[in-house]
Amino acid sequence: MVSTPRAMGNVRVDISDMKVSNRVGDVLVTYALGSCLGVTMYDPVVRVAGMIHCMLPLSKVDPAKAAKMPYMFVDTGVPALFKAISELGAQKNRLVVKVAGCGQILGDNKLFKIGERNYTVLRKILWKNDILITGEHVGGNFSRTVFIEVATGRVVVRASGREIGI
C-alpha cells in the first residue's frame, strides 16, 4: 500500500489544464482521468515537477479551441509542458516521464478509442524527443487520480480504491 501524498499545497490540475511547480511542499494532482491522458514530468536535479491532463489526441479537430486551450489536446499540450518545465530549469535529458489514464469503455468499438489514441500520440511526441516512459498505469476500464510530489518526484495513482506507486 502506498500512502497518498498529502501536502500543504495541493495544486489541482483541472481537465484540459497544466501545472508546473518547483515549490518543495507542493503536490500536483489531477482527478478522474477516464480516457484522458495524464502525464507527469520531473527533473530530480532541480526538483521541478509538471503535470498535464489532456482530453483529446489531436488539435486538428478544433484548431480554434486549441489556440485558446492548448492543454486540451495531446499534440499541443505535451510540447507546452516541455516548454513550461524547461523555463523552471528542467533539462530534457534528466526528465522522468510517467503516464496514467487512457482508459476505455467496454466493447471493441475501434472508432471510439480515444484513450488509446491519446497514448499513441504521446508516444510519438516522446519518441521524437528521445524520451522514454519510466512508469505508467494506462488502459483498462478505470478512472484514475494521479499525484506527483515536487520534493521527491514520487508519482501515485489511485484507481478503484487502490493506490499504486508508478
Asked if residue 102 binds another protein (CB under 8 A), the reply is: no
Asked if residue 8 binds another protein (CB under 8 A), the reply is: no
Task: Identify the burial level of 57 via C-beta atoms within 10 angstroms of its C-beta, where 0-12 means exposed, 13-18 middle and 19 or more buried.
Answer: buried
Asked if residue 158 binds another protein (CB under 8 A), the reply is: yes
Closest distance of CB 65 from another protein, Å: 5
The helix-helix angle for 74-87 and 114-128 (nearest 10°) equals: 40
Asked if residue 120 binds another protein (CB under 8 A), the reply is: no
Closest distance of CB 165 from another protein, Å: 17
Asked if residue 48 binds another protein (CB under 8 A), the reply is: no
Termini Cα distance of the chain: 12
Please pick, from the candidates 71, 82, 119, 142, the single residue that binds another protein as defined by CB under 8 A. 142
Residue with cell 466493447: 107
Q: Which is nearer to another protein, 71 or 82 (CB)?
A: 71
Written as nine digits, the cell of 22 is: 518547483
DSSP 50-85: EEEEE-BS-GGG-HHHHHH-GGGBHHHHHHHHHHHH
**Cα separation of 42 and 28, whole Å?**
11
Please pick, from the candidates 35, 52, 81, 85, the single residue that binds another protein as defined by CB under 8 A. 35
Interacting residues toward another protein by CB under 8 A: 10, 12, 14-16, 30-36, 53, 55-56, 61-62, 65, 69, 72, 103-107, 109, 111-112, 114-115, 117, 140-145, 158-161
